[in-house]
Amino acid sequence: MDKDKIALQAKIYLYHLNNSTKENGIKPTENWIVSQVTDAERIEIERNFYPTVSTQVVPKTMLDFSDHVLFLLSSSYTNIPVKERSIEYNKDATYVIAYSADRPRR
C-alpha cells in the first residue's frame, strides 16, 4: 500500500473518530486512548467500553498508519481529545482501536 492510500485511510479513520466524539458527547476531559491490538484484544475492548472506533490494518503498514494517525491528531484541525500522543507498537496487531476508558459499559 503506498503512502497516499495510507494517508487517506488515516483521514477516514479520524473522520469516524471525530463523528463518534460528537455523536456520543465525549467531553474534552474524557480522552480517547488509541492502541494497536490483536483481534482478541479488540473484541475484549469492545465488550468493556462504549464507544469504540476500530479499523483493520495490514500488519506491514501498521507502523506507517499509526504514525499518520498520530500526526493528524497532533495537527490543529482536529478537536479530538486524546490521552497520549503515542501508540505503543505491537508486532502482532491487526487493528487500531480508539476507546474512552472513562466510558465503561454497564
**Is the confidence at residue 36, as pLDDT, over 90?**
yes
Instruction: Give yes or no for residue 85 having a pLDDT over 80.
Output: no
CA-CA-CA-CA dihedral for 48, 52, 55, 60, to nearest 10 = -60
pLDDT category at 16 given cuts 50, 70, 90 is very high
Which secondary structure element, helix H or strand E, spans residue 96, and what is its range? strand 95-100
Mean pLDDT of 46-63: 95
Sign of CA dihedral 53, 69, 6, 60: negative
Q: Is the pLDDT of residue 76 over 90?
A: no
Q: What value does the mean pLDDT take over residues 11-38?
A: 92
For the chain, which residues make up each domain, given as ranges?
Answer: 3-100
Question: Measured between alpha carbons, how far is 49 from 104 in angstroms, rounded to an integer?
Answer: 4
| Helix (H), strand (E) at residue 36 | strand 32-37
